[in-house]
Structure 1
Amino acid sequence: MKSPLSILLLSLVFVSCLNHKKQEVSTFADKGLVTFVITGLPEHHDYKQDLYISGDFEGWSGGKDPFKLNKTNNQYQISIPKYSETLSFKFTQGNWATVECETDGNPIDNRVYSFTTTSDTVAIKILNWNNPNQKNKPTTASKNVHVFAEEFEMPQLQRKRKISVYLPPNYEVSKASYPVLYIQDGQNVFDVNTSYSGEWEVDETLNTIYNETGFGLIVVAINHANEKRLNEYSAWDNKRYGKGEGALYLDFLVNQLKPEIDKAYRTKPDSENTGISGSSLGGLFAHYATVKRPDVFGKSMVFSPTFWYAKASFQFTKTHPNTAKFYYLVGEKEGQDMVDNMNAMVELMLANNFSEENIYKKIVPHGMHSESFWKTEFKPAVLWLFVRD
C-alpha cells in the first residue's frame, strides 16, 4: 500500500506534467488556433467510437489521446494550435486501420489547413471509414512484387518488419545485375490496400520506365514502425516526440537488411548503384542516411523532408560533406516553412563543399504533402538519379 506521502508526490508529478503540457499548447495557441467541427459522418457511423486527428504536428501516429476529439451530444470537435504555418492531417477512429476514406473505400489525400488568421473554425465532412475486416480486396501490386520477409529481424531495435521487393520485368530471363533503391514507409509503395492514404505505384512506374528505356531497378520497401515511426526516422531526440532511433535503424539497413538483399538477388552492391528514398519523416531519414553513409548510399531521393523536426540535421550535414547525389522535392502547398527549410538545407550544402552538380532541387507550386504528389514525382526523380548521363 502506498503511503500518503508517496501518493502526494505522485499527484504533484502528475499535475506538473499536465501544467507543462498546457503551457506548451498555450505557447502555440498564442500564435493561432483552428477548431475543426465534424458536420458530416457516414450513415453507419457508431457514435460510441472516439475520433482522433492525426497529422504531421503529432507524428502521424494514427491516434494519440491528446488529439482525441471532444464529443458532446454526438457532436465532435477539436481545437489545434498553430504548430506550423500549414497542417497536414486525417481523421481516424484510433489507428490507421480505421482511417477516413472515400465512399467507395479508396484512400483520400491528406487534408491540409493553412493558417491565415489567429482564430478559425472549419467544418469537416467524413465520407467513410476504412474497414479493416473487409476481406478479398484485390491487390494492386504488380506480379513482379513479392514479400521478402513478413517479420525480418531488427536486432538493433528488438523489432521485426515486413520487407517487400520489386524485381525488374526481365529479372527472371536475364543474368544481369541491377541497382537497388531502398524506400521507407513500405506500406505505401506498391499496394493501395496496405496504404492509409494511397500508394506511390512504384511498380507500375518502374515497369513503364523499363518498357521505355530498358532500365531495370530493384526496389526494397521497408514497412514503417507505426507508433515508433517518428523515432526510427530521426537520428535526433525531439522534446515533444521522444528519443531518436535513426542511427540504430540505419545500422539495421546497412548491416542486416542490405547484406541479405545482396545475397538473395543479383544486385550491384556498390554505393554508386545503391539509393535510398523517403517522404516526410522518411525524407529526413533518407537525407541523414546518405549524409552519414555515402559509402553505402550514393543516391538519395528526398521528398518533402521534415527538417523542422530535427534542426540538428543542419549542423550535422554541414560537417559531413560528400559527393553523393541528392534529389530534393517539396510542394508549395505544404507550407512556406517546408519550402524554406529545404532551401536552407540545399544552400548550406552548397556552401560546405557538397557538389552542386550532384544536387537537384524541385519546388512544385501545387504540390501537397500527400502520396499522390510523391507518386507523380517518383518517375522524374528515378530518371535523374539513376538514368541521366
Structure 2
Amino acid sequence: MNNVPLPWREVLADEAAHTITGDVRIIEAFPIPQLQTERRVWIYLPKSYNRGDRSYPVLYMHDGQNVFNQATSWGSEWGVDETLEQMALEDSAFESIVVAIDHGGDKRNNEYNFTINAEYGFGGQGEGYAAFLAETLKPYIDSHYRTLPEPEHTMIAGSSFGAYISLYTAIRYQDLFGRVGGISFVMWHDNGAIIQLIRQLDLSPALRVYLSIGELETDNTDFNKLAGEHVTLAHQTIIAAGVPESRARFDLIPGGEHNEGTWSKLFPEVYRWLAAAIKRKLNPNIPSVSNRYR
C-alpha cells in the first residue's frame, strides 16, 4: 500500500499538529527508478475536483515536506493548500492540482543539481531527478488524474536549489513543462553550467519563467550582491535564448530572506502570475495581473 495514494489522515496518523487544508493525498513510497530510490509524494486536489469532470493544470513542487504541513516542514510551511483554497473562493479558474515531492534529506543537494560541486562535494544527480519528473511522475499523474497535460498547462516551481532544479527541468523538457517559478534562485555553485546550457538551447518562446532573489538572502553583503547579479544574468540569458521579455519575469524582493517565511509570502504572487497565463489562454478576455515587485 505504500505506493497507493491515500487521504493524508490515513498516512499521518500520529499526534502531531498537522496543518493540512483541503483534499491532500499522500503516496508514501513513490518509486524513483532513475535514482534507485523512493520518496513521499503529496497530491493536492482542487476544491471542485470531485464535483464534476473538469480537467486541471498541474503545479509540480519540490521540498514537499514544506509545501502543505507545518508538522513535517523544516522551518515553516508554504501554505500552498490554504492559498489555493482561498483563491478558489475568489475565482475557480485559478484551481490547479499540486504535486509535491519530498526532498531526500542529505541527498537533497545531490538530487537538485545536475553538476558536481567538487569543493563542497555535492550534486550530480539532477539529471536523473529531472528525468524522474518528466518520464515517471508526470505520466503517472496525467494517467491517474484529470489533468491538462500540455506544457502550457504544466508548472514547476521551487526555492533555492529547488528553484535551480525547476529551471533545469523546464529547459531540458520544454515539451512537458511550460511554466517555471524559481524563488531565491541560486547558481553560485555550478561554475556557470546552467548559463552555458541555456545558451546551447533554443528556448521555446512559449516558455514562461519567473525568477526572484531577496535583498537579504544571507548576512553577507557581498554574497547578496553576487546572488542578485547571478539571477540578473540568468534572466537576461533566458531572454537572449528565445523567451520573450514579457514572459520572463525577475523580481528583487525588498527585505527578502532565504527562508520559508519569505517564500510562503511570495508564493501567492508567483502562482498567480504563472497561473494567470493559463487562465487567460482558457479565457482570452481576462486581463493580466500586475507585477507587484517589478
CA-CA distance at 1:241 after TM superposition: 2.1
> Does 1:222 pair with 2:222?
no
Runs of 4+, deviation exceeding 4 Å: none
Greater per-residue helix proportion: 2
Count of paired positions: 254
Match of 1:317 among 190, 198, 203: 198
Aligned to 2:122: 242
CA-CA distance at 1:372 after TM superposition: 1.1
The SS at the match of 2:216 is: helix
Please tell me the residue identity of whatever aligns with 1:202.
V
Distance 1:313 1:327 in 2: 16
Q: Which consecutive residues of structure 1, in runs of 5 or more, have no partner in the other structure?
A: 1-134
Match runs of 1:211-360 below 5 Å: 211-214=89-92, 215-239=94-118, 240-310=120-190, 311-320=192-201, 321-323=203-205, 324-334=207-217, 335-360=224-249
Task: State the Cα RMSD in Å.
Answer: 1.2
CA-CA distance at 1:327 after TM superposition: 0.8
Please tell me the residue identity of whatever aligns with 1:256.
T
Provide Cα deviations, 1:199-232, integer angstroms capped at 9, x if missing partner. 0000000111111111210000000011111111
Identical counterparts, % of pairs: 36
CA-CA distance at 1:243 after TM superposition: 4.2
CA-CA distance at 1:309 after TM superposition: 1.7
CA-CA distance at 1:312 after TM superposition: 0.7
With normalisation by structure 2, the TM-score equals 0.84
Aligned to 2:269: 380
With normalisation by structure 1, the TM-score equals 0.64
- Look at both structures and tell me which one has the larger radius of gyration over its CA atoms: 1
Q: Which consecutive residues of structure 2, in runs of 5 or more, have no partner in the other structure?
A: 1-13, 218-223, 281-294
Whether contact under 8 Å (1:230, 1:241) holds in the other structure is no
The SS at the match of 1:210 is: helix
Distance 1:367 1:356 in 2: 24
Whether contact under 8 Å (2:164, 2:186) holds in the other structure is yes
> Does 1:140 pair with 2:29?
no
> Does 1:176 pair with 2:54?
yes
Aligned to 2:3: none
The SS at the match of 2:251 is: strand
Aligned to 2:289: none
Whether contact under 8 Å (1:206, 1:216) holds in the other structure is yes
The SS at the match of 1:332 is: strand
